[in-house]
Structure 1
């Protein structure tokens, strides 16, 4: 049992390491305009959502974009109200990772990605280094995904994990809690989704349970931004609260429609992991579109709820 858990922890570490390395390469290729774009092109919630989506798609991490946003707010470069549109965009942009790791053809390119990426990492040219970081990081993601699928069945034999899976399969609310807790611990909703995809590929987790866990992952990912706001100014804390409330409201809104979301995804593909990726996109896009015209009301709600304590 210890060996299985150790291997699982190693694959989580490989996944997070791959995300970090890939993010470094992507960030280095785009950082010169990142600050300018975030500060100058978020004057309305719609613009903020578009920019938040694009930057999250580039950095492959909603948590990273939220930490950057909170840092800019703390520095007085952005306002709390500007952050609402960015938050909506980060929720959409982060779904690109889960869609990307469902592409089966890339699994056959794992070794070339790792080898070419590693070689480019040792070059002196910055452009080559950044491309190498992207390729090597991508290779690590697919190594981890293979690991999750391989370890899914052995992990399911561990009593605690077996009980958790059974409970989440029977009760979607437990699945939401499990997704929240797991993401809060490993600090990556993409990693949580990747793990659940591995379990679903082995038919250990039902589609409804997988969707519930992904909904919970959206709440769990707020922990990173909340930690980043500790000790910062009032507007930074308000942005962190807005991030939490937006995701909580989204989960509450779509929780009753889990079966409908699953049925919609099943109409598009028969592959369980791809179904989950599609549901993640549908949930986050619809949540952001619904919340967009209510951005002003949300800002007032956050100020009323947390203005004094922030």
Structure 2
């Protein structure tokens, strides 16, 4: 049993290495590729199939498809087609792993280790994880075969298998629970293959375990997207329903199904693995023509709830025919993004002053919300007919998108930089000097004040407020320079607290200055249109001559 547990753990780790390696090396391309599969169901099916073969994880494909559906980049019907392709893809991966390729395991592991050791860039190191993971998977299959051989002589295990064989439904449930726990149908199917090859389980019981693996493997994506909204949840839930219907249809005819495969000349390992492939291919053939009514059914089973506080509230699709109303709604939604960003900055300052790690974790939640709202605003405005917009409306749309994008960048700086700096301070139990803490707190307060000013400018478009914001940005630069100079002076005086926190202090000044640059960006188009902004702050040749003559 210990050998069996270790072999399964190695298999799961190999799967994880292949998946993470592919995502880190080609994640952005894979996302664009999957997102492009929205033109027809057959293309979406093919993309789901190929993406799953590359990732060796239908769960990863399911989460990507759910994410695209939740953000509106992919319709529910196309996302379901991607999932049908993912199911066939994972069964093809299982069939390839069932081939006797154990001799490749040491070569792949050695090659992966060598490539990882010689690689210096992150993409190259990520790619090196793929052959390493594949080698672990092939090695684990060899270990599974060795681990299951003694089981043929275990009276307890034989009695347990006979009990499961007598009640196929119980075997389906047990295999489903194992697949849920492992977050992988592939691992359980390969386990069933090894047990069948060793004679520990009968072909009928092996196929019952395959059905359970397919059912249980569809559950983790449902749990992972449970709080991501109804639209995103429909994708894995629909996939679970398809597999549930398939299992319910095959289970009463299990013996007939086994006889059919046996008469076709399949025995042992091919019987179990090919049953897995046939099951998913049959579901795809059945469901592809029925995707539209099926997607409508899933939508009725899981209707969109009333707009939650963390979702868009003012992006009414009915207003897209009226640019003025649509732009007003987008502006109101963008103000909500600004409020969330202000909340992130306030939480970061609170965590900094009170060494509160809980406030740090709350920042990540707000950042995810900012990303979702920003995507929703941009997608909403992209649906406006640009040919029907007046010049002013087109400029207004661009202003809103630009401001929303700058807010997202601010959120990224707070989440990835400032939050990390605060966590370093808390972990190392560091304290700023009283003067340093006061300077940083002042800079935070001024930043929040500038953000509130930018929110007002988005609504009013007031040129005087825009000028005030640009001047405030200059004030931030002076504050940053003054604080940096004071900090260097404290270092020269040997103040211990300043020495210990020097990198944190200077990095915080730099990041807050960057944030204010993004905040001030809302003012430039307004000042430029009013003729109050020069193209460049560089002194021209004539001005330079005047300066030199005066000096």
TM-score, normalized by the shorter chain, greater than 0.5 = yes
Instruction: Answer whether contact 1:42 1:85 (CA < 8 A) is retained.
Output: no
Query: Aligned partners of 2:8, 2:224: CA distance in 1, in Å?
Result: 22
User: What SS is found at the alignment partner of 1:122?
Assistant: helix
State which of 8, 25, 30 in structure 2 corresponds to 1:12.
8
The answer on 1:292 being equivalent to 2:288 is yes
Greater CA deviation, 257-266 or 139-148?
Answer: 257-266
Deviation at 1:99, TM superposition (A): 0.7
Per-residue CA deviations over 1:175-224 (Å, capped at 9, x if unaligned) read 21122111111111110011111111111111111111111111101121
Please name the residue that 1:113 is paired with: 108
Instruction: Answer whether contact 1:70 1:228 (CA < 8 A) is retained.
Output: no
Please name the residue that 1:165 is paired with: 161
Deviation at 1:96, TM superposition (A): 1.8
Please name the residue that 2:278 is paired with: 282
Per-residue CA deviations over 1:70-108 (Å, capped at 9, x if unaligned) read 22233332232321111111110001221112211x212
1:1-310 to 2 correspondences below 5 Å = 4=1, 6-104=2-100, 106-124=101-119, 129-155=125-151, 157=154, 159=156, 161-267=157-263, 270-307=266-303
- Bigger-Rg structure (1/2): 2
Per-residue CA deviations over 1:138-170 (Å, capped at 9, x if unaligned) read 1111221122222224456384x5444212222
User: What SS is found at the alignment partner of 1:107?
Assistant: coil
Instruction: Answer whether contact 1:42 1:51 (CA < 8 A) is retained.
Output: no
Query: Aligned partners of 1:267, 1:132: CA distance in 2, in Å?
Result: 43
Unaligned runs of 5+ in 2: 307-551
What is the TM-score of this pair, normalised by structure 2? 0.52
Query: Aligned partners of 2:99, 2:212: CA distance in 1, in Å?
Result: 24
Deviation at 1:289, TM superposition (A): 0.7
Q: Alignment RMSD, CA only?
A: 2.3
Query: Aligned partners of 1:131, 1:75: CA distance in 2, in Å?
Result: 29
Instruction: Answer whether contact 2:151 2:200 (CA < 8 A) is retained.
Output: no
Deviation at 1:53, TM superposition (A): 1.0
Query: Aligned partners of 2:255, 2:118: CA distance in 1, in Å?
Result: 50
Query: Structure 1 residues 102, 300: CA separation in 2 closer, same or farther (over 3 Å shift)?
Result: same
Query: Aligned partners of 1:228, 1:67: CA distance in 2, in Å?
Result: 8
